[in-house]
Chains A and B, each alone.
Chain A
Amino acid sequence: MAVRVQSDPFDAGAELTVFSSSVSGAGAVVSFTGIVRGDNDLAALEIEHYQAMTTPAIEAIVAEASTRWSLSDALVIHRHGRLAVGEAIMMVVTAAPHRRAAFEAADFLMDYLKSRAPFWKKEIGPDGEMWVAAKGSDEDDLKRW
């Protein structure tokens, strides 16, 4: 299980290849990559985080996923700082003996990263800057689990 919080860009394809080649005993690998959308002439996304809390909070979410599903391995990468449209923000990869556990654990990790990992997104656009508000549906998503 690995958690990486970084400002540097990452290559999602290369990460997936390395992860898949190092995992043993898994019959399924699922990956999700979040990418900065260019809606409303967005110029960039600025992601703030709570450095002392971010990695422990994500590790706790991964540990919770590991108690719910039989995972062979998991990887979470999440960036902070300024990101341009089209750049990868974050990535979740899960490996499990069978596909359903890998899919469900990845979905669970995404839902919890959205609203329980201490990141805050600010949109930088042509009309200035605006903090992204959390959606009510983000909380509803947690109730699925």
Chain B
Amino acid sequence: MIDVVYFAWVRERIGKPRETIETGAETVAELVAELTVREARYEAAFADRSAIRVAVDQVLSDFDAPLSGVREVAFFPPMTGG
């Protein structure tokens, strides 16, 4: 079980801010592959992966990151703070 959270337009395209997913994915990329075959809205949100950033357990990471022991994965567009 892994908590997956979404922000900004990624959240809007998927239509929810968070969900808990039962997955056997070993990496973030495998999790995304599982999600995109699930429903069209995931495919739309993840269509351009270069436009999406990843955080694993609240630390910036990337699509190659392993999911072993991970509790929360976040997907969001490039940040616009400041």
Select one of A56, A90, A131, A133 contacting B81, CB under 8 A. Answer: A90
Q: How many A-B residue pairs have CB under 8 A?
A: 72
Size of the chain A interface, CB-CB below 8 angstroms? 27
Select one of B8, B55, B60, B74 contacting A131, CB under 8 A. Answer: B8
B76→A118 contact, CB < 8 A? yes
Select one of B5, B58, B60, B80 contacting A134, CB under 8 A. Answer: B80
A66 to chain B, nearest CB (A): 19
B58→A120 contact, CB < 8 A? no
A118→B7 contact, CB < 8 A? yes
A110 to chain B, nearest CB (A): 6
How far, in whole Å, are A133 and B51 apart by their CA atoms in the complex?
10
CB-CB under 8 A from B9, the residues of chain A are 131
Which 8 pairs of residues, A with B, have the shortest CB-CB distance? A134-B78, A119-B81, A120-B8, A114-B82, A53-B58, A117-B81, A113-B82, A121-B80
